[in-house]
Amino acid sequence: MTVRIAVAGASGYAGGELLRLLLGHPDVEIGAVTAGGNAGSALGEHQPHLLPLSGRVLQETTPDVLGGHDVVFLALPHGRSAEIAGQLGEDVVVIDCGADFRLVDPEAWTRYYGSPHAGTWPYGMPELPGAREPLVGARRIAVPGCYPTAASLALAPALAAGIVDHDVTVVAVSGTSGAGRAAKTTLLGSEVMGSLSAYGVGGTHRHTPEIRQNLTAAAGAPVTVSFTPVLAPLPRGILATCSARTSATGPQARAVYEQAYADEPFVHLLPAGRFPTTGAVLGSNALQLQVAVDADAQRLVVVAAVDNLTKGTAGAAVQCMNLALGLPETAGLSTIGVAP
């Protein structure tokens, strides 16, 4: 089976990572690659690491160019996906790396994104309880945000097993590629190098409702989330430290996670006492995690590392395509990182 795919937003970071993974996928043929203002230029100008595609010319992002493919990946700014997706045929598998179709609650969408809610698609995090089945055969899939991937997979098992209170804290450090490649003063090397900065503090970051949605579903009751993102001088990677009040012991907590992720190809609970690093998951579709119980503070602490561009976006998108099309879920994806 050969699947013909198109990538919209191919000059960006998420689009580039999609193409890197899809070049190694055994069942995929790469069709149209599109952009916005950079349409008309060679892909190799923007993605010099994708040598086999370097001569490809970026096309305009239009329904005509994207139509005629089996799968269309959208790696576009928020708002743009909804506009394009509405003009693609129902039979085309559309996998959106943006946020447009992630949230269920229209009020939460409007509060955090300030525009009308476009709708809700099956959510592309198969490792959450009950989330894999709706992705099988799906024709529209919303890929999760990078911070929600780390935080949700870190805390969902404890909430589903009822071993923590429904009030969680997440502090997550991210590399700068999480912000995309469009120029911003806060992303200049001179601002970022040698410095860490918190942003979106006090419940204002748009990933807060997405994390809350996932954890509330896992717990089966409302969960409050305090989320603080931190920008770090790294190109890629997220390290999330997540905690919640617990009366469980360390071995009890560990048993919950061992059971939850025993059969998951991309979520790895590390051996006791070994903590994840962003370096170990670079370029890999793995999320590595570790659990500990701070008995004095009566808190469960879960540390998770993920590559924001791989399992945090493009790898999850490819995993979802595999599920949608009935291909092996791991096709084209690796758990092997690039180190040092």
Ligand X SMILES: CC(=O)N[C@@H](CCC(=O)OP(=O)(O)O)C(=O)O
Ligand Y SMILES: NC(=O)C1=CN([C@@H]2O[C@H](COP(=O)(O)OP(=O)(O)OC[C@H]3O[C@@H](n4cnc5c(N)ncnc54)[C@H](OP(=O)(O)O)[C@@H]3O)[C@@H](O)[C@H]2O)C=CC1
Closest approach, Cβ 54 to ligand X, in A, equals 27
Other beta carbons within 10 angstroms of residue 47's beta carbon come to 23
Q: Across the strands, what pairs with 294? A: 299
The answer to the question of residue 12 lying near ligand X (CB under 6 A) is no
Which residue matches tokens 């970022």? Answer: 192
The answer to the question of residue 211 lying near ligand X (CB under 6 A) is no
Closest approach, Cβ 64 to ligand X, in A, equals 26
Quote the CA–CA distance of 84 and 88 in Å, as a whole number: 7
The answer to the question of residue 231 lying near ligand X (CB under 6 A) is yes
Catalytic residue among 97, 146, 242, 320: 146
Quote the CA–CA distance of 231 and 238 in Å, as a whole number: 9
The answer to the question of residue 145 lying near ligand X (CB under 6 A) is yes
> Residue numbers of the site for ligand Y (CB under 6 A)?
9-15, 35-38, 61, 75-78, 80, 97-98, 145-146, 177-178, 180-182, 308-309, 312-313
Give CA torsion, residues 196, 209, 310, 171, to 10 deg.
30
Which residue matches tokens 């952009």? Answer: 35
Q: Which does 229 bind (CB under 5 to 8 A by kind): ligand X, ligand Y, none?
A: ligand X
Given the complex with ligand X, which of 144 and 283 has the nearer CB atom? 144
The answer to the question of residue 179 lying near ligand X (CB under 6 A) is yes
Q: How many angstroms separate the first and last alpha carbons of the chain?
A: 36
Q: Based on C-alpha coordinates, what's the Rg of the chain?
A: 19
Q: Which DSSP state fits 119? A: -
Given the complex with ligand X, which of 56 and 181 has the nearer CB atom? 181
The answer to the question of residue 229 lying near ligand X (CB under 6 A) is yes
Closest approach, Cβ 149 to ligand Y, in A, equals 8
Query: Which among 141-149, 217-225, 247-255, 263-271 is the span making contact with ligand X, rule CB under 6 A?
Result: 141-149
242 as an active site residue: the answer is: no
Given the complex with ligand Y, which of 181 and 299 has the nearer CB atom? 181
Closest approach, Cβ 197 to ligand Y, in A, equals 17
The answer to the question of residue 237 lying near ligand X (CB under 6 A) is no
Q: Which does 37 bind (CB under 5 to 8 A by kind): ligand X, ligand Y, none?
A: ligand Y
The answer to the question of residue 178 lying near ligand X (CB under 6 A) is yes
Residues 6+ away with beta carbon under 8 Å from 164: 155, 158, 244, 245, 246, 248, 300
Binding footprint of ligand X, residue count (CB under 6 A)? 10
SS3 assignment, position 295: coil
Q: Which DSSP state fits 58? A: P
Is residue 201 within 8 Å of residue 108, measured between CB atoms?
no
Quote the CA–CA distance of 139 and 223 in Å, as a whole number: 30
Which residue matches tokens 């580039």? Answer: 16
Interface residue list for ligand X (CB under 6 A):
98-99, 145-147, 174, 178-179, 229, 231
* Residues with catalytic function: 146
